[in-house]
A and B are shown apart, each in its own frame.
Chain A
């Protein structure tokens, strides 16, 4: 678990992170979202003690990062910026990190295989493509078999196969009960991997919510139905968990039922449908709306109420 409490970082008169509080829970994937420059990387750097907070605290597994006897075993990190000497081979790089903890060579070989770097392990990292560099960073993050995995923009530069690999890897880690946190500036991509969302803008917390709740707020997962018998269908579909809105007499937007159920009900009662479309919510738009106006949403209830719940 990562516990960020009232974390603040100022550079001169610029506030990069502003009284940020949230926790990252084990057993799920938490997406850490914000536009570029929102303070995501700064926050992650403070979590592992590379930067010291101006005020506030952050603990990893109940302690400050530096107080762990084996920090790489507690939390494995991939930082956004390259953190590898280009003159060293992938193997030598991982070995250097492993030696500090007494991690055996066999584990180094293991993460090299896991990251799909077997064929380039003895090539110098400076010759790596962006994608291979990311894989090396992820291999380093997994080196200590950590309880918590924190990745800054992990799919950055990966090809589709690599993106899928990261997605499966992260959900696998979360399924094992580990804490997974990944940052991104792309909402749609994060929604595919994450269960929980922490959204920040200009260093402040904008939302701390589940992916489902965010989608619900963004316009739900409704189904658009078009029929000549709008009123009749509305009566047929209504139920305790179903909400129906309509813009015209012939168009309904139904949430609480999926298109399959609606179609079945319509056939059963002989209501002809000429459109049955699941609404695609634009998560990206909802995200941009949320972050573009950081000040207005700053004190949204999501802030505090959902944090408790999480």
Chain B
């Protein structure tokens, strides 16, 4: 027993019998989190809902598009010009899907705190940080391809609805593929932000409230600021920055597509850093 403590665990053979040399590794934690994600029914349901929102709303918006209606009453969305082109219509659903994916991200992490599962998790991985990286990586790796596929499907279905319209585009047109893949990246990052907020706040309700507030409410609040301030601040707000990559054409008050995505990734990294700090520093 005492020998065990000081010998390398890989070579330890207590009680004379050969013991398997178990060891916690980053890859194993990743595998564990992957299994955890898929073993919950809520993951399947919420992912399904997100995918449905992306595809169905995008397809319906395109199918019901009429050039006269848009001019005066454009639907809200990324930037100020969504809804006026085929990509904006196809990605209309991602505005709603970001909520589903963000909430699922929160459930992946804060759900462990509300159920007590976190105690089992941290007992198995007492160094803690690998859990945060793995949860983020797993959820990002699942949601980015899924959301990208959803965006592509929405666009392709939408193209059927827009056939013959002036705004119709094809995948090969300038910026179309970038916007669709960008939507997948944006949604994946929203999911990772949800994971980070869940670990940071340890409460599903709190994290969801903050996520919704930051993504949907804060951009609207900039209207209260003087115009010059608002114009300076607004492009850098998380959702405004992140959604730049999804719009076909950037307005004057929007960052460039990749610059915007990078700014949004910076916000997510900030949330992750806060989550890492809290995870390591406070009692579980």
Q: Which A residues have a C-beta under 8 Å from some C-beta of B?
A: 1, 26, 45, 48-52, 61-63, 65-66, 68-73, 77, 79, 81-89, 92-93, 95-97, 99-104, 140, 144-145, 147, 176-177, 179
Contacts and interface: CB of A to CB of B under 8 A. Distances in A.
Interface string B155-190: 000000000000000000000000000000000000
B73 interface: no
B124 A97 contact: yes
A85 B19 contact: no
B122 A88 contact: no
Interface string B10-53: 10001100011111110011011101100111100000000000
B120 A140 contact: yes
Given A83-B116, A88-B36, A101-B22, A72 B124 contact: yes
B2 interface: yes
Given A50-B283, A82-B116, A73 B1 contact: no
B135 to A, nearest CB: 12
7 A-B pairs with least C-beta separation? A62-B5, A92-B39, A99-B32, A66-B126, A70-B22, A83-B119, A101-B22
Contacts of A92: 35-36, 39
B235 to A, nearest CB: 40
B118 to A, nearest CB: 8
A147 B15 CA distance: 10
Given A72-B124, A179-B1, A100 B28 contact: yes
A99 B31 contact: yes
Contact of A51 (B5, B25, B283): B283
A100 B125 contact: yes
Contacts of B2: 1, 62
| Interface of A, helix, strand, loop or mixed by DSSP | loop
Contacts of A49: 122, 126
A6 to B, nearest CB: 19
A69 B120 CA distance: 17
B29 A100 contact: yes
A103 B22 contact: yes
A88 B31 CA distance: 16
A282 B41 CA distance: 51
B40 A72 contact: no
Nearest to A88: B39
A73 B123 CA distance: 11
Given A70-B24, A85-B40, A87-B42, A97 B283 contact: no
A97 B111 contact: no
B122 A68 contact: no
B39 A89 contact: yes
B115 A84 contact: yes
28 contacts: A26-B1, A48-B126, A49-B126, A50-B283, A61-B5, A65-B126, A66-B126, A66-B127, A69-B9, A70-B22, A71-B126, A73-B9, A79-B123, A82-B115, A82-B116, A84-B117, A85-B112, A88-B117, A95-B35, A99-B28, A99-B31, A99-B32, A100-B29, A101-B24, A102-B23, A103-B22, A147-B1, A177-B15
A128 to B, nearest CB: 13
A99 B35 contact: yes
Nearest to A49: B126
Nearest to A25: B1
Given A1-B1, A88-B39, A73 B119 contact: no
B115 A71 contact: no
A147 B22 CA distance: 13
B123 A81 contact: no
Contacts of B32: 96-97, 99-100
Given A62-B5, A102-B28, 11 more contacts: A49-B126, A50-B283, A61-B5, A63-B5, A69-B10, A72-B124, A73-B19, A84-B115, A84-B117, A101-B24, A102-B25
A87 B15 CA distance: 38
